[in-house]
Amino acid sequence: MTEKKRLLIIDDEENMRHMLSVVTSKAGYQVTIAENGEQALAIQKKAPFPLILCDLKMPKMDGLQFLKALPVDAVKPIVIMMSAYATIDDAVEAMKNGAYDFITKPFKTAEILLVLEKACNHLELQEENLLLRARVKELQGSGSFEDIIAHSEKMRSLLHLTEKVARYDTTVLITGESGTGKELIAKGIHQKSKRNHCPFIAVNCGSIPENLLESEFFGYVKGAFTGADTDRKGLFEEAESGTLFLDEIGELPLGLQVKLLRVLQEQEIRPVGSVKTKNTNVRVITATAKDMEREVEEGRFREDLFYRLNVLTLHLPPLRDRKEDIPHLCTHFLTMLNRKMSLSIESISQDAMGILLSREWRGNIRELQNCLERAAIVAEDKQILPSDLSGIRSGNSCNEEINEMLGTFSLKQAKKIVEKKLISRALETSKGNKSMAARLLEISYPSLLAKIKEYM
């Protein structure tokens, strides 16, 4: 905590510097002062401060110029801008350039200490995210499967086996329920293999009309059928020397199963309409959510092709069997959502995490991600609470609830709708007092005015 409480104060007024220095020092901060942006920039380059209080209007280099010139390390410093003469445009410009908050002078001692306390909490979250990424890489092995969160013993064992599989060109069948991350595993195998400099092509076998499957897989020559005006490469040629990932392989029609088996055995393809074959050098990885042995028994999948694909099977456990991974997946998804939607959700309350851990997650990781997205949109604070997760208790689809509540799938539109509703509630509660509404919303007064101008 000592390192996090190192504070740089930048202000051209000596009285203000002295007052802020005394107040923050008493609160336990290690304070360094600077008279202008140039001096502060020199200090920051020598020994970066995690927390910065910066005046907006200063000689030589003002606050905005300092903000733009500020070097950014692995953990971004948190800059809180101050001004007695700020306009809404100044506040918006500062926030656009990376300021954490904007406060207007004169301010009360409690106000500045509260803003700094929240900034310290934000710093802790940033550092936890960095440590989590480092831990994930450590567990997964250097440089491979970076996108896969694996802290549970089941997933760690699976990734260890997958690391070995990636070195060889053998065909792999990945099994597991929908939403467990089968394509991520396939990408990881490709990235760790000697083919990683060549294409990785993924296709869902159930998404292509049956009458187009053969031409999609093997390509066609000019004149092969009506509309074939030129030669066209198929998926096998596009993936030449690389990896072809066939998702939902159980959906492949029997007629094409025969032709796929021949390609795997003979390492050659024949485009539709051609009398010549072409050699192919492609690693095939397949995946399915179906019970393939049952599909074979009931005659829907060729036994010889199944054994050809099933040289090595990797089974992805459902999320309900790897619940140790849920907190780490939540941290990962919140980081993504904050960046993607310009949110500032810092954590999930203990009670809310209990709800997430008790859920069966029949939609697996995909369902968890969707539910967190909904919770992040409706959350009224920087922490997700049980009330934000109320939709998952009834078993309703998070997608359905988001659509019912907001009437849109657009993240930008949803953010505007939710912010407008919260601002209206705050203004109603405060009986039109904008200063009080800003405190309820935990944003600065200029930020509230800017949002009112935009939404109202």
What is the count of structural domains for the chain?
4
Chain segment 331-368, per-residue pLDDT in tens: 989 988 888 888 888 899 988 998 899 888 988 998 99
Per-residue confidence (pLDDT) for residue 72, from 0 to 100: 60
Residues 272 and 160 in one domain: yes
Residues 95 and 47 in one domain: yes
Span 230-234, mean pLDDT? 90
Q: Which residue has the higher pLDDT, 14 or 390?
A: 14
Residues 20 and 131 in one domain: yes
Q: Identify whether the C-beta of residue 292 lies closer than 8 Å to the C-beta of residue 250.
A: yes
**214 lies in some domain:** yes
Residues 373 and 442 in one domain: no
Residues 327 and 403 in one domain: yes
Give percent of the chain above pLDDT 90: 38
**146 lies in some domain:** no
Chain segment 236-250, per-residue pLDDT in tens: 999 999 999 999 999
**144 lies in some domain:** no
Question: CA 58, CA 10: separation in Å to the nearest integer?
Answer: 9
Say whether pLDDT at 192 is over 80.
Answer: yes
State both tokens at 92.
């918006």
Residues 169 and 127 in one domain: no
Question: CA 75, CA 50: separation in Å to the nearest integer?
Answer: 8
**142 lies in some domain:** no
**235 lies in some domain:** yes
Q: What is the pTM of this model?
A: 0.55
**Structural domain span for residue 444:** 411-456
Domain stop point among 259, 290, 316: 316
Q: In CATH, what number is assigned to the domain containing residue 124?
A: 3.40.50.2300
Q: In CATH, what number is assigned to the domain containing residue 262?
A: 3.40.50.300
Phi and psi angles of residue 107, each rounded to the nearest 5 degrees, phi first: -130, 160
Residues 272 and 158 in one domain: yes
Say whether pLDDT at 399 is over 70.
Answer: no
Chain segment 59-102, per-residue pLDDT in tens: 888 888 888 888 665 457 889 988 887 677 878 888 888 888 88
Domain stop point among 76, 109, 136: 136
Q: In CATH, what number is assigned to the domain containing residue 346?
A: 1.10.8.60
Residues 29 and 108 in one domain: yes
